[in-house]
Amino acid sequence: MTIKQFIKFFFSHFPKRLPLLIIILVISGLLESVGIGAVIPVFEFFFQGRSFDPNSPISRFFHSFLSALHITPSLPILFSIIIFFFSLRSFLLFTQEWFCHKITAFFFNTQSNALLNSIIQSKWQIIHHKKQGSLLTLFTQELDKYSHLIYVSIYLLSEAILLLFYLLLSFIVSWQITCVFLILLALVSYPLTIYQKYMYKLSNKERLSRDAYTTYLQECISGLKWIKSSGRHSFASQFFRRNVYQKAHDTYLSSCYKSLLPSFFIVFSIISLTSIAYLSLVIFHMTFSYFLLISIIFYRLYPKFQGLQLRYQAIASLLPSLVEIHNQTLYFESNKEQYGTQLFSGFSHAIEFKNVSFCYQKKSHFSLNDFSLSIKNREFLGIVGPSGCGKTTIIDILTGLLPPSSGELLIDSTSLKNFAPDSYRQFLGIVSQDTFLFHDTIYNNLTWGLDNVSKEDVEFACKQAHALELISQLDHQFDTIIGDRGIKLSGGQRQRLSLARALLKKPSILILDEATSALDAESEHHIHQSIKKLKGSLTLVVISHRLASVKFSDRIIVMDHGHIIEEGTWSSLSKNKGKFNRFRDLQILD
């Protein structure tokens, strides 16, 4: 995205607020110009023996203005005019600052929500292939830079408008000197353009190294326990040093080149001001009052021009963040989940996988191949099989996270893709091996995202999940803070809370995906007891490597290479000399 494209983007996103801001900036610039212009009559008042005889266009303007108000010109009156206009401009500056922050906050809020919604509503395959660190960088760094870009752009507009008023005032005082100044600006414009393009490349490189640094840091912190316990801390530190060096090096280069511009403008300002002073006094024989005014104008103008270039440089350095946010938002929006709008209200007969096939991206083999399965309402279905046989793919298709590559999922003979995904997922309760909990109280974790939940409902769900007893033993019970991802609880306690949270939704379909795989015997026993009591009250789908979890199921299917190779009850499958029986013997189950 070029600067011109950004300007078009900037104006198109604020069709109502921006015109009002421009009006404020124009009035502010006009007030400052009038305030500075009032210096001329003051000087003439002194140099003409404290008499007011206007002999310049600016003095005649003030004389006419005061005469129209029936005010006799005097030194206190002229000073009062200067004070009045600059005071009024100060108030407008405050209004401008308030307006600027309001627009920036509005933009940050709008863009943050748009980005998050685009991610949440996109296809699971798209989210799954994104690095968590990259997504984190978008929200914690790129969005801040994005909103700061809006702030800088507003001030660039302010500097530009004020610069135009100064040029207009200087043109009134001396068009010759103003033309000299414009020629000097034209001479430095080309090298500045090259400089801005190089700054854009440096800033983009800095953004990429910052993203890589944040991504690795997030992964390293997440796996800190494994890194320490496996003795890999030296390798982790070495790899981290490489990321830190690259980030520091790119930041160093970018910062060094940013510092060139202020240094350049110091030299440019001195050369320009001395040249203008020489031309004014020696070549054009300017009066002293006009020379003082033109000196004041250019003294005020050069910082504005420098500020204009610095803002422009800041935009060039921040523009990669805007491009990244814009591209990522469009990318997620273009990969939005494709479902219907029909509201789901439960099912009464069966869920049917009809000739479903699915393969992941960049893989030639199918995780499921022409797979068919019918799950009856209130049936307890157990799914077992070796790793990579397609068990989790079945669950992801059942929850609507993955659309079938071919075939379809039918619910009471209606395709899942006809339903609005959120309305369907409200009827699902999911307990996975990797329990997701917030750094919050137990009560807030259980009721997260649920409305109109009573304390009695929460306690009943906890009782069903055999979690009420463990909660009552804690000092603060439901108000206990459980730490980041529930770190203050054991694995079994986290799983029971996860089951209670799923049951609190009162789901029609409860899915347990390897929910007991990493539990101790006692915790596993509690989960099994909960499952047995839930049997027949809802549709229950349990995936497990540990066959004890499916022992009391109505039906068990054995998966291998995306196909059902065996199907039946625990008793019937145990009698056959098939793969299930071998699994059973290996786990030494009764």
Q: Kindly tell me if the per-residue pLDDT of 588 is higher than 50.
A: no
Phi, psi of 410 (to 5 degrees): -110, 135
Residue 403: per-residue pLDDT: 85
Residue 58: per-residue pLDDT: 64
pLDDT tens-digit map of 352-401:
999 888 887 655 677 788 888 898 988 889 888 877 788 888 888 888 88
Q: Kindly tell me if the per-residue pLDDT of 223 is higher than 80.
A: no
pLDDT tens-digit map of 103-158:
888 888 888 888 888 888 888 878 777 777 778 778 877 888 877 887 888 777 77
Distances (CA, A) of 107 to 66, 113, 376: 45, 10, 49
pTM of the predicted protein model: 0.68
Closest to 375 measured CA to CA, from 508, 464, 505: 508
Average pLDDT over residues 68-72: 76
- Half-sphere exposure (Cβ direction) of 82: Cα atoms closer than 13 Å: 12
Residue 590: per-residue pLDDT: 41
pLDDT confidence bin for 589, thresholds 50/70/90? very low
Closest to 21 measured CA to CA, from 81, 87, 106, 82: 106
Average pLDDT over residues 330-356: 86
Q: What is the rounded CA–CA span in Å between residue 411 and residue 425?
A: 13
pLDDT tens-digit map of 10-43:
667 666 777 777 788 788 777 777 777 676 676 6
Q: Is 226 exposed, middle or buried (0-12, 13-18, 19+ CB in 10 A)?
A: exposed
Q: What is the rounded CA–CA span in Å between residue 99 and residue 17?
A: 9
| Residue 150, amino acid | I
Q: What is the rounded CA–CA span in Å between residue 289 and residue 287?
A: 6
pLDDT tens-digit map of 503-536:
888 888 888 887 766 566 666 777 787 888 888 8
Closest to 129 measured CA to CA, from 119, 140, 115: 119
pLDDT tens-digit map of 427-462:
888 888 777 777 788 888 888 877 788 888 888 888
The per-residue DSSP string of 326-367 comes to HHHHHHHHHTB-----BPP---SSEEEEEEEEE--TT-SS-S
Q: Kindly tell me if the per-residue pLDDT of 208 is higher than 70.
A: yes
Q: Kindly state which CATH superfamily the domain 3-334 is placed in.
A: ABC transporter type 1, transmembrane domain (1.20.1560.10)
Phi, psi of 348 (to 5 degrees): -120, -15
Q: Kindly tell me if the per-residue pLDDT of 59 is higher than 70.
A: no
pLDDT tens-digit map of 257-316:
777 777 777 777 778 778 878 887 788 777 766 777 777 777 777 777 777 777 777 777
Q: Kindly tell me if the per-residue pLDDT of 48 is higher than 60.
A: no
Residue 107: per-residue pLDDT: 80
Q: DSSP secondary-structure letter at 485? A: G
Q: Would you kindly state where each structural domain of the chain is located, as residue ranges?
A: 3-334, 340-425+539-590
Residue 282: per-residue pLDDT: 80
Residue 364: per-residue pLDDT: 60
Residue 468: per-residue pLDDT: 83
Give me the architecture of the 340-425+539-590 domain, per CATH: 3-Layer(aba) Sandwich (3.40)
| Residue 410, amino acid | L
pLDDT confidence bin for 562, thresholds 50/70/90? confident
Q: Kindly tell me if the per-residue pLDDT of 423 is higher than 80.
A: yes
Q: Which residue has the higher pLDDT, 548 or 205?
A: 205
Q: Kindly tell me if the per-residue pLDDT of 225 is higher than 60.
A: no
Q: What is the rounded CA–CA span in Å between residue 503 and residue 519?
A: 20
Mean per-residue pLDDT over the chain, rounded: 78
pLDDT confidence bin for 4, thresholds 50/70/90? low
Q: Which residue has the higher pLDDT, 580 or 407?
A: 407
Q: What is the rounded CA–CA span in Å between residue 240 and residue 577?
A: 53
- Report the percent of the chain where pLDDT is more than 70: 86
Q: Kindly tell me if the per-residue pLDDT of 226 is higher than 50.
A: yes
Q: Kindly tell me if the per-residue pLDDT of 413 is higher than 70.
A: yes
Residue 500: per-residue pLDDT: 86
Q: Kindly tell me if the per-residue pLDDT of 572 is higher than 80.
A: yes
